Structure 1
Amino acid sequence: MSLIIAYIGKKGCVMAADKRRIGYFGDKENLDLLEEELYSGSINSDDDFLNRASELGISVKITDDASKLKTVGNCIRGEVSTKGTMETKRRRIYGTTNGYQIIELLGSQTKSRNAGKSGIVIFGNNFAKKMAQNLVSKKVKSFKSLRYIGDVFEDILKEVSSKTPTVGKNFDVLMQQPNFNESEAQKHLDLTIDHDIKVLTKFRQELTEQLVQQYIEIEMASKIIEKGSIGRVVNVDGNMIFVQLNEKTQAMDTNWKKQLAAPGQNVLMFSEGLSAAIGDEVVIENGNLCLKKDKSSLKCDIILCSL
């Protein structure tokens, strides 16, 4: 659902890209049929696309705020991506003065990497790409300036977007023109891309850790004790009460990362009154932590949950 057009030459690099992203939800066979019609060019407008999706029982979400271009060092990066069931496939072009590289990634693993010196590179589905190629051959007759090339690319994106809903009507255009020869360009691209992929790898690792932590929190949250006995008072020191947990209760820290007390171990609680005595049963009733004998409230900075 993207169209990226890149020019790389002796004077610099310019890229233009639409900002459309489309999400699908529905029956796989009907999704395949809708995509076939969409990529063949038989669906020409957003309204026709939404109407056809409705006929097939497909829920569609269209957004036009996805940034597909980014300045990285003295390069421009353009990216198209496809989310699979297990991994995201990314196709990237990095361009600068006198050089570019095209990278294909699965997750954060590099599957292919090819370099070039100059030219016009187009990313997009077959229909949009073919139309853009024809328009480029008609409109780009000679190099005048990067600004001129950028304006031409934006005109091409507008024309393609009027023929297919796979390309949105909002665009980004970025330019870079550092003073690199061909050798310097490839060295800079190598360093920039290697660092950029490391950043992606770190981001994915952090995201994975966050997802694992969220899963743990969800699992543990289901074990929070909302009703029943949790232990008995074993020591009292003013408003400080030490409670020995019963065989079914454990105490976790508030981040769910550490077990603070296992069954049979003691935890510290605080009483709002002076009625607690050794041997008193501590319970949770209606979500409130209290002494069973008189419902005197207790407080603690731990999470009480079942094993």
Structure 2
Amino acid sequence: MSLIIAYIGKNGCVMAADKRKIGYFGDKENLEILEKELYDGIIISDDEFKKRADELGISVKITDDASKLKIVGNCIRGEVSTKGTFETRRRRIYGTTNGYQLVELLGSEVTSRNAGESGIIIFGNNFAKKMAETLISRKFKPSSSLKSKGEVFEEIINEVASKTPTVGINCDVLRQDPHFNTSQAQKHLNITIDNDIKVLVKFRQNLTEQLVQQSIEIEMANKVIDKGDVGRVVSVDGNILYVQLNDKTQAMDENWKKLAGPGQNVIMFTESENVKIGDKVTIKDEDLCLKKDKSSLKCDVILCSL
């Protein structure tokens, strides 16, 4: 669901990309029918697309604010991606003066990497790509400036967008023109791409850690005790109580790190003057209290089941 057009030559690099993203949800077979009609150019407008999706029982979300181009070092990076069940597939082009590289990734693992010196590269579905190629053959002038080439690419994207919902009319255009010969270009591309992929690896590691932490938080939140006995008083020091947790209770901090387990003591606070060693501590109606008289207690830990 993208169209990226890149020119790489001796005077620099220019890329243009639409900003459309489409999300689907529905029956797999009907999704395949809808995609085939889209990619065959049968569906022309957004309204037709939404109507056909409704007929097939497919829920769709269309946005036109995705950034598919980025300046990285002295290069421009264009990316299209497809989210699978477990991993995201990415296809990237990195371009600069006198050189480009095409990189394919599964997650953050490089599965393909090829280099070239010059040319026009197009990323898109077959219908959008063929239409763009036809328009380029009519409109593109090799001798024009990078700025003019970018304007032509933007016109082409808008024209393609008028014939298929897979491409949006919103468009980004970026240019780079460092002074590189072919050897310098590939050297710079190698360094830039390697560093860029390291950033992706780090991002995915951080994302994985966040997802693991969220999973832990959800799991522990489901274990928070809202009723039942949690322990007994083993020491009283004024309004400070030392409570030994029973064999089904553990104490966590606000980051879900374990502070005390079964048989270990935690500190609680009371305003009652009628606390005895051996008194049971319980949670009733989500309130921490003494079991014998419902005297309120407070603590700085989260009490959870094992």
Q: TM-score range by the shorter chain?
A: over 0.9
**Residue of structure 1 equivalent to 2:207:** 207
Q: Deviations over 1:28-67 (max 9, x none)?
A: 1100000000000010000000000001111111011111
- 1:37-186 superposed matches below 5 A: 37-186=37-186
Give the distance between the partners of 1:132 and 1:118, measured in 2 at CA.
18
Give the distance between the partners of 2:34 and 2:103, measured in 1 at CA.
29
The CA deviation at 1:299 is 1.7
Backbone CA RMSD of aligned residues:
1.0
Q: Secondary structure at the match of 1:282?
A: strand
Q: Secondary structure at the match of 1:62?
A: strand
The CA deviation at 1:141 is 2.5
Cα 1:120/1:273, change in 2 over 3 Å: same
**Residue of structure 1 equivalent to 2:190:** 190
Q: Secondary structure at the match of 1:14?
A: strand
Q: Deviations over 1:2-27 (max 9, x none)?
A: 00000111111111000000011111
Give the distance between the partners of 2:236 and 2:202, measured in 1 at CA.
49
The CA deviation at 1:181 is 1.2
Percent identity among equivalent residues? Answer: 75
Retained in 1: the 8 A contact 2:15–2:150? yes
The CA deviation at 1:205 is 1.0
Give the distance between the partners of 2:54 and 2:274, measured in 1 at CA.
66
Give the distance between the partners of 1:91 and 1:233, measured in 2 at CA.
63
Give the distance between the partners of 1:238 and 1:2, measured in 2 at CA.
70
Retained in 1: the 8 A contact 2:141–2:149? no
The CA deviation at 1:204 is 0.7
Unmatched runs of 5 consecutive residues or more in structure 2:
none
Q: Deviations over 1:78-110 (max 9, x none)?
A: 000001111110000001111110000000000
TM-score (norm 1): 0.98
Q: Deviations over 1:165-195 (max 9, x none)?
A: 0001111111111111111111111011001
Letter of the 2:87 partner, please give it: E
Cα 1:179/1:273, change in 2 over 3 Å: farther
Retained in 2: the 8 A contact 1:143–1:149? no
- Which is worse superposed, 41-50 or 203-212? 203-212
Q: Deviations over 1:99-123 (max 9, x none)?
A: 1100000000000000011111000
The CA deviation at 1:239 is 2.0
Letter of the 1:260 partner, please give it: L
**Residue of structure 1 equivalent to 2:251:** 251
**Residue of structure 2 equivalent to 1:301:** 300
Letter of the 1:206 partner, please give it: N
The CA deviation at 1:285 is 1.0
The CA deviation at 1:278 is 1.5
Retained in 2: the 8 A contact 1:290–1:296? yes
Give the distance between the partners of 1:286 and 1:30, measured in 2 at CA.
49
Q: Deviations over 1:128-156 (max 9, x none)?
A: 00100111111012322111001000000
**Residue of structure 1 equivalent to 2:288:** 289
Cα 1:11/1:275, change in 2 over 3 Å: farther
Q: Secondary structure at the match of 1:34?
A: helix
Unmatched runs of 5 consecutive residues or more in structure 1:
none
Give the distance between the partners of 1:21 and 1:181, measured in 2 at CA.
36
**Residue of structure 2 equivalent to 1:268:** 267
Letter of the 2:173 partner, please give it: V
Q: How many residues align?
A: 306
Retained in 2: the 8 A contact 1:13–1:95? yes
Give the distance between the partners of 1:302 and 1:4, measured in 2 at CA.
54
Q: Secondary structure at the match of 2:36?
A: helix
The CA deviation at 1:281 is 1.1
